[in-house]
């Protein structure tokens, strides 16, 4: 392959690269990494998929505009047609419909919108009704860097995944994309990581951090996503995380030291690359390394 | 019997550290770890498992291709895009609703019971503890939380325990809602960062929405005293009690390495703070 062709390919991968920042344990520094990384890549967009607790914009202060809503379909029962036969409740495996002798009670937060009750009703008494469960917003200034997309799950709603799916549907294709994931290893995280090219797992050098990192590693392996680790609040090399990564042949991509200045900037909502420019370069290099690795693979 | 849940909105604020210390100080309590996505309480309470019950999440669809007449009705009816063009069910996407089985005219689809984790009942130095393991990639954390809670309640009844202490998950979604259901009191642990404050506000809206009485603890308050002051002001306006302010201290990490709780590890400003917080929590629980 000619150097020129390789160059073109690089641009191509770079523009399409979707990198998710995940962790297992909460509070290890996902948002810190996502925001600082996005700020260090020209033309990147940042997607805040932690829809239960979206925090990226606390560090960016963008003016946002609402661009979409996430909706789920819940049953709407026509009481006149309903004979209280109970077939809908029988069909519903999520216990979202209870049929009493003279009444049907709905539990919309348990509903998974599978449409089973609508199919099962012999009287055609059930139709689907849209319910808004979350809001999708985006930087209103198109010249913003990074462009920020954010989803927020409405208070009292239980299912984060439909909001994340709608959010991911709204983003711009063809530009480098940094995705801030929710913590854990459950459905919202898997919905976030689906179709991403690379995952950065952020952890801290404590037994809790190590334990939850192992769970997150299992998850990305099952999902077949290439990944590396960032150790946040690092106090020394050769910590318990290094030992584990060595054993498992996992690349430690970066170490962010336990540093009072970084912690203070974080607590005030200031991305540390803005005050410590040497870090911007490190994040830019990190991004390039991930892109190059993807090309080699 | 009272139920205390420790939650936070934001992850990593110190829920587990505080819950573990409470467990060490409580008399006659049963302990539950409801952070089933990333459970950590067992790392400091060293449970010895005495009983394990399989946890079955949602059933999963299985298509018998020998019987299948390739009508693709199942694929069309599936709202989760879990059935691909080769009529293979993606186990991670299947939510177990059974709609495909219902629409299949050839009776080619069965809903298969699937073990997606375990619920353990264990003995610790500080009483009985219920905790769980979820198979990776299983999508039933809310349901597993409910299973943990159910087991905990039945043990608490059996033991005539007066209190259940629950370590909760971060966030405001399904696992959190399952955790706080039926709780007598929520202790919300926050930290004086913009993220901590923002997430406190959201999780408080959730506990208010479900009518769960709530009190707040500001952990690591001295990392940013200005923000800690703002949290106090905010709570004061909302008539939410700030039941404790704990200083930043490296001892939780040291205690964790020794697999023990902060209050047992060393007497210092932090452990004394947690003790005082516990007394406030106990008197608040008595009022509920």
d(CA A148, CA B179): 32
For the segment A120-141, the average pLDDT, to the nearest whole number, is: 96
> Which of A25, A33, A49, A52 to probe the B interface (max B CBs under 10 A)?
A52
Pair B281, B211 in one domain? yes
Residues of A in contact with B98 (CB under 8 A): 91, 93, 114, 116
Residue B172 and residue B250 share a domain:
yes
- State the pLDDT confidence band at B103, using cuts at 50, 70 and 90: very high
Which among A24, A159, A190 is the nearest to B173, CB-wise?
A159
Tokens of B132: 């769980």
User: Rounded to an integer, what distance in angstroms lies between the CA atom of residue B116 and that of residue B119?
Assistant: 10
What is the bridge-based pairing of β-strands B185-190 and B214-218?
A: parallel
| Structural domain span for residue B159 | 2-55+118-287
In total, the C-beta contacts within 8 angstroms joining chain A to chain B are 172
Model pLDDT for residues A147-179, shown as the tens digit of each residue:
999 999 999 999 999 999 999 999 999 999 999
Compute the nearest-CA separation of A256 from chain B (Å).
17
Q: Report whether pLDDT(B82) > 70.
A: yes
Which SS3 state, helix, strand or coil, does residue B140 take? coil
Q: Contact B194/A31, CB-based, under 8 Å?
A: no
Residue in B59, B134, B224 closest to A268 by CB: B224
Give the position of tokens 């059974």.
B98
When pLDDT is cut at 50, 70 and 90, the band that residue A5 belongs to is: very low
Q: Which of B76, B96, B113 is the last residue of a domain?
A: B113
Distance CA B38, CA B235 (A): 29
For residue B102, the chain A residues in CB contact (below 8 A) are: 91, 116, 119-120
Contact B172 A153 (CB under 8 A): yes
For B260, which residue in chain A has the nearest alpha carbon?
A207
Alpha-carbon distance of B241 to A248, in angstroms, equals: 46
Residue B177 with chain A: CB contacts under 8 Å: 109, 156, 158
Check A160 against B95: CB less than 8 A apart. no
Q: Do B253 and A28 touch (CB under 8 A)?
A: no
Does residue B213 sit in the same domain as residue B245?
yes
Asked whether residue B48 falls in the same domain as residue B66, the answer is no
Contact between A82 and A103 under an 8 Å Cβ cutoff? The reply is no
Residues from chain A that touch B90, judged by Cβ atoms under 8 A, are: none
Same domain, B228 and B157: yes
Q: Cβ contacts of residue A251 below 8 Å, gap of 6+? A: A228, A229, A245
Q: Residue A2: pLDDT above 60? A: no
Residue of A nearest to B40 (CA): A208
What pLDDT does A7 receive? Answer: 43
pLDDT for residue A232 = 98
Q: What percent of chain B has pLDDT over 70?
A: 100
Q: Would you say residue B45 has pLDDT above 50?
A: yes
CATH of the domain at B194: 3.40.50.300
Residues 6+ apart with CB under 8 A from A35: A46, A56, A59, A60, A180, A271
**Band of pLDDT at residue A70, cut at 50, 70 and 90:** very high
Whether residues B99 and A155 touch (CB distance < 8 A) is answered with no
Backbone φ/ψ region at A285: left (φ over 0), alpha (ψ -120 to 50), beta? alpha
B267 and B132 in a single domain? The answer is yes
Report DSSP state, residue B33: E
- Asked whether the predicted pLDDT for residue B26 surpasses 70, the reply is yes
- pLDDT of residue A297 exceeding 80, the answer is no
* Shortest Cα distance, chain B CAs vs residue A140, angstroms: 22
Contacts of B6 (CB under 8 A, 6+ apart): B15, B18, B19, B22, B165, B166, B167, B168, B186, B187, B189
Whether residues B28 and B169 share a domain: the answer is yes
**Are B97 and B207 found together in one domain?**
no
Per-residue tokens: A164: 């994340």
Task: Give this complex's ipTM.
Answer: 0.93
- How many domains are contained in chain B? 2
pLDDT of residue B260: 97
Write the pLDDT tens digit of every residue in A227-252. 999 999 999 888 999 999 999 999 99
Among A149, A253, A247, A157, which residue's Cα sits nearest to residue A198?
A253
Q: Which two tokens stand for residue A147?
A: 């462009």
Length in residues, chain A: 297
**pLDDT higher than 60, residue A189:** yes
Distance from CA of B282 to the nearest CA of A (A): 27
Top residue of A32, A53, A185, A227 to mutate, by most chain B CBs within 10 Å, is A53
Answer yes or no: is pLDDT of B17 > 70.
yes
Check B80 against A114: CB less than 8 A apart. Answer: yes
Query: Between chains, do B79 and A113 touch, taking CB under 8 Å as contact?
Result: yes
| Matching CATH number, A14-62+144-296, of 1.10.357.10, 3.20.20.110, 3.60.15.10, 3.40.50.300 | 3.40.50.300
Which residues, including other chains, have CB under 8 Å from residue B117's CB and lie 6 or more apart?
A: B36, B54, B55, B57, B132, B133, B134, B135, B138, B140, B144
Which chain A residues are closer than 8 Å to B59 by Cβ?
93
pLDDT digits (tens, 9 = 90+) for B213-226: 999 999 999 999 99
**Range A10-39 burial, b when 16+ CB lie within 10 A, else e:** eeebbeebbbbbbbbbbbbbbbbbbbbbbb
Q: Stretch A135-139: mean pLDDT, rounded? A: 97
pLDDT category at B141 given cuts 50, 70, 90 is confident
The confidence score (pLDDT) of residue B1 equals 93
Task: Please give the model's pTM, rounded to 2 decimal places.
Answer: 0.93
- The 10s digit of each residue's pLDDT in B182-201 is 999 999 999 999 999 999 99
**What's the distance, CA A223 to chain centroid?**
14
> What does the domain layout of chain A look like in residue ranges?
14-62+144-296, 73-131
Provide the pLDDT for residue A9.
45
Do the Cβ atoms of B227 and A267 come within 8 Å? yes
Residue that has been written with the tokens 């290439």 in this structure: A226
> Inter-chain contact B136–A269, Cβ cutoff 8 Å?
no
**Residue pLDDT, tens place only, A72-124:** 999 999 999 999 999 999 999 999 999 999 999 999 888 999 999 999 999 99
pLDDT of residue B92: 82
Q: Which member of A27, A114, A184 has the closest CB to residue B10?
A: A27
Does the pLDDT of residue A44 top 80, yes or no?
yes
Cα–Cα distance list, B101 to A119, B57, B79, B80 (Å): 12, 18, 13, 14
Task: Assess whether B39 and B132 both reside in one domain.
Answer: yes
Chain A: closest CA distance from residue B239 (Å): 20
CB atoms B193 and A91 under 8 Å: no
Between CA A280 and CA A273 the distance in angstroms is 5
Residue to test with chain B: of A26, A94, A206, most B Cβ within 10 A: A26
Return the SS3 of A57: helix
Nearest to B146 by CA among A86, A158, A22: A158
Within 8 A of A151 by CB-CB distance, chain B residues are none
Same domain, B63 and B133: no
Are residue B29 and residue B163 in the same domain, yes or no?
yes
CB contact under 8 A, B99 and A114: yes
Residue B24 and residue B37 in one domain = yes
> Among A286, A277, A61, A68, which Cα is nearest to A176's?
A286
Whether residue A115 and residue B77 make contact (CB cut-off 8 A), yes or no, is yes
CATH number for position B67: 3.30.70.20
Instruction: Read off the DSSP letter of residue B260.
Output: S
Chain A residues lying within 8 Å of B103, measured CB to CB: 119
> Is the separation of the CB atoms in A235 and A204 below 8 Å?
no
| Domain A73-131 top-level CATH class | alpha beta
Query: Confidence class of residue A4 from pLDDT cuts 50, 70 and 90?
Result: very low
Residue A198 φ then ψ, to 5°: -155, 150
Among B59, B90, B99, which would you mutate to test the A interface (most chain A Cβ atoms within 10 Å of its Cβ)?
B99
Torsion angle defined by CA atoms of residues A135, A136, A137 and A143, in that order, rounded to the nearest 10 degrees = 180
Q: Name the token pair of B205.
A: 């809206």
The pLDDT of residue A16 is 80
pLDDT above 70 for B5: yes
CA-based torsion, B261, B264, B268, B273: positive or negative? positive
Point out the residue among A184, A208, A264 whose CB comes nearest to the CB of B256: A208
């Amino acid at each position: 392959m000619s150097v020129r062709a390789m160059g073109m390919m690089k641009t191509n991968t770079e523009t399409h690269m979707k990198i998710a920042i995940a962790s297992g344990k909460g509070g290890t520094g996902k948002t810190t990494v996502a925001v600082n990384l996005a700020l260090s890549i020209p033309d990147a967009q940042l997607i805040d998929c932690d829809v239960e607790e979206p925090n990226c914009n606390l560090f960016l202060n963008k003016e946002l505009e609402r661009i979409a809503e996430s909706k789920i379909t819940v049953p709407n029962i026509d009481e006149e047609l309903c004979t209280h036969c109970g077939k809908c409740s029988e069909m519903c495996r999520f216990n979202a419909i209870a049929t009493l002798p003279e009444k049907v009670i709905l539990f919309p937060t348990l509903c998974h919108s599978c449409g089973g009750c609508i199919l099962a009703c012999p009287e055609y008494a059930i139709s689907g009704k849209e319910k808004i469960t979350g809001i999708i917003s985006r930087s209103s200034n198109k010249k913003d860097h990074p462009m920020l997309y954010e989803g927020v799950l409405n208070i009292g709603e239980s299912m984060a995944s439909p909001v994340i799916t709608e959010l991911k549907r709204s983003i711009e294709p063809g530009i480098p994309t940094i995705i801030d994931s929710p913590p854990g290893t459950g459905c919202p995280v898997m919905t976030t990581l689906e179709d991403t090219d690379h995952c950065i797992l952020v952890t801290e050098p404590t037994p809790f951090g190590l334990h939850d990192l192992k769970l997150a590693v299992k998850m990305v392996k099952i999902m077949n996503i290439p990944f590396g680790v960032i150790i946040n609040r690092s106090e020394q090399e050769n910590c318990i995380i290094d030992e584990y990564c060595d054993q498992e042949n996992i690349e430690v991509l970066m170490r962010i030291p336990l540093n009072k200045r970084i912690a203070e900037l974080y607590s005030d909502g200031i991305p540390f690359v803005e005050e410590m420019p040497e870090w911007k370069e490190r994040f830019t290099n990190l991004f390039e390394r991930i892109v190059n690795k993807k090309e080699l693979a | 019997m009272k139920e205390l849940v420790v939650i936070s909105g934001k992850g990593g604020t110190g829920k587990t550290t505080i819950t573990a210390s409470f467990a060490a100080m409580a008399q006659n309590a049963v302990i539950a770890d409801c952070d089933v996505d990333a459970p950590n309480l067992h790392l400091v309470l060293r449970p010895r498992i005495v009983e394990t019950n399989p946890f079955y999440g949602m059933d999963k669809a299985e298509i018998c291709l020998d019987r299948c007449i390739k009508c693709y009705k199942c694929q069309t009816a599936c709202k989760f895009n879990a059935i691909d063009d080769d009529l293979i069910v993606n186990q991670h996407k299947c939510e177990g609703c059974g709609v495909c089985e219902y629409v299949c005219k050839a009776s080619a689809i069965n809903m298969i019971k699937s073990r997606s984790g375990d619920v353990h009942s264990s003995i610790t130095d500080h009483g009985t503890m219920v905790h769980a393991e979820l198979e990776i990639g299983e999508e039933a954390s809310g349901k597993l939380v409910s299973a943990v809670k159910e087991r905990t309640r039945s043990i608490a009844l059996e033991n005539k325990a007066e209190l259940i202490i629950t370590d909760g998950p971060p966030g405001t979604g399904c696992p959190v809602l399952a955790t706080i259901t039926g709780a007598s009191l929520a202790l919300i642990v926050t930290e004086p960062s913009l993220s901590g404050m923002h997430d406190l506000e959201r999780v408080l809206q959730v506990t208010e929405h479900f009518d769960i009485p709530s009190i707040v603890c500001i952990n690591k308050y001295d990392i940013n005293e200005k923000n800690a002051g703002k949290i106090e002001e905010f709570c004061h306006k909302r008539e939410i009690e700030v039941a404790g302010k704990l200083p930043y201290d490296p001892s939780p990490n040291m205690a964790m390495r020794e697999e023990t709780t902060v209050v047992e590890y060393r007497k210092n400003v932090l452990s004394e703070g947690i003790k005082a917080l516990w007394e406030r929590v106990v008197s608040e629980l008595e009022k509920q």
